[in-house]
Amino acid sequence: MKKSTFLVIGGAGYIGSHLVKALIEQQEQVVIIDNLSAGSASAVLGGELIVHDFDDREFLDNLFSSKHFDGVFHFASQIVVSESVKDPGKYYRANTAATLTLLEAMRDHKVGPLVFSSTAAVYGEPLYTPIDEQHPTNPLNPYGRSKLMVEHMLADFASAYNQKYIALRYFNAAGADPQARIGESHDPETHLIPLALQAISGKRPPLQLFGQDYATPDGTCIRDYIHVDDLASAHILAIHHLNNGGASGIFNLGSNHGYSVNEVIQTAARVTGKDVPLTYAPRRPGDPASLVADASLAKKTLGWQPKYTDLNQIIEHAWAWEQANS
Ligand SMILES: NC(=O)c1ccc[n+]([C@@H]2O[C@H](COP(=O)([O-])OP(=O)(O)OC[C@H]3O[C@@H](n4cnc5c(N)ncnc54)[C@H](O)[C@@H]3O)[C@@H](O)[C@H]2O)c1
């Protein structure tokens, strides 16, 4: 069977590197563009890594004139919500304007389709839960707005130029490669599971638990954790869906199950055999009490079936990576 060639933008980062791994396991050809501002060359387990900014039009013109791609995955982004509030221009430039450059280059060179990394942050404070794709979008910060603007651009480019796309709204990406070759290592790290595990291993100060007075069963926030390898498999199904004539669209990616911060802390203690060092802090502004995905549309339309639905297993993989990486 003829193999495909895919472009993975931001493929040296946490989620992108797991997609690269999955594509290589399927013997696909992969080209990765990453400027290594946040990612690492060692996370790229195969394919051809080009270290470059993706939003350089001349560079994209040269690349798209010299190589054929059967699809593009776009992960590259600024991702720290609190920073986006303090420095919104950085987020609109890096996430929105840069993606416009990419879309125009793809349009002019007839490259496609595109799978875009969107986020549950586009929903804002949930009006109901689990959240399906029909839920109104009302992002609470520039990070979420910078992603929602891209979703609007994608829809407009699809209707004006027939450029096909899928935007995947991830909930909380978690876990690591089951063989612990790659995993999560953001700097700054803002995600609960690595923060808890690194507090246990002594790499970081005690974990700050923000708010114990939410309207949830144990008073702590509830989030939906989805294994990074399951995110990767959804991307591959999404590009095949588009290449097989499927329609453009937007899909939630989550587990349909929420865990409270306390449950994550208890699971981390169980998996590691050590208590998570903790300090208690008040609620942070803009943290909804509960964010849980209804991901049934991705299951029905793309045939997606997450493999790692047990939080124990997700944290076991994250812990194995944490130990291999320290
Ligand atoms: N991690 C999550 O839980 C989560 C949740 C929802 C959405 N997302 C989205 O998923 C995507 C990937 O997230 P991640 O956690 O893997 O982030 P990451 O920071 O680990 O990966 C992003 C990669 O893009 C690269 N990059 C950034 N700007 C670039 C540029 N201008 N040119 C070339 N490369 C560039 C970085 O070096 C990095 O390797 C992001 O778009 C993020 O908004 C992540």
* Sequence ranges of the chain with CATH classification 3.40.50.720: 5-174+225-254
Whole-angstrom CA distances from 124 to 58, 68, 79, 141 are 36, 38, 16, 8
Assess contact for 227 and 306: CB atoms under 8 A: yes
CA 265 / ligand 1 centre spacing (Å): 25
pLDDT tens for residues 46-77? 999 999 999 999 999 999 999 999 999 999 99
Q: What percent of the chain has pLDDT over 70?
A: 99
pLDDT digits (tens, 9 = 90+) for 273-316: 999 999 999 998 888 899 999 999 999 999 999 999 999 999 99
What gap in Å lies between CA 120 and CA 133, rounded to an integer?
A: 10
Residue extent(s) of CATH 3.90.25.10 domains in the chain: 192-222+257-295+308-324
Distance separating alpha carbons of residues 173 and 46, to the nearest angstrom: 22
**pTM, full prediction:** 0.97
Q: Ligand 1: distance of its center to the CA of 217 in Å?
A: 33
**Nearest CA, atom 31, ligand 1:** 53
Contact between 263 and 223 (Cβ < 8 Å): no
CB proximity list for 314: less than 8 A, separation 6 or greater: 174, 175, 193, 225, 227, 308
> Quick one: DSSP state of residue 11?
T
pLDDT in tens, 97-147: 999 999 999 999 999 999 999 999 999 999 999 999 999 999 999 999 999
Q: 14 in ligand 1 pocket by Cβ < 6 Å?
A: yes
Within 87-234, strands assigned E span 114-119, 165-170, 172-174, 207-210, 222-223, 225-227
CATH topology of domain 5-174+225-254: Rossmann fold (3.40.50)
pLDDT at 99: 98
The answer to whether residues 16 and 54 touch, using CB atoms and an 8 Å cutoff, is: no
User: Residue 1: pLDDT band by 50, 70, 90 thresholds?
Assistant: low
Q: How far apart are CA 204 and CA 286, in angstroms?
A: 24
- For residue 6, the cross-strand partners are 30, 71
Tokens 């876990």 belong to residue: 175
Is the minimum distance from the CB of 50 to ligand 1 under 6 angstroms? no
Which helix (H) or strand (E) segment holds residue 57: the answer is helix 57-66
Pairing assessment for the beta strands 114-119 and 165-170 based on DSSP bridges: parallel
pLDDT of 287: 86
CATH 3.90.25.10 is the classification of domain 192-222+257-295+308-324: yes
Q: Is 308 a catalytic residue?
A: no
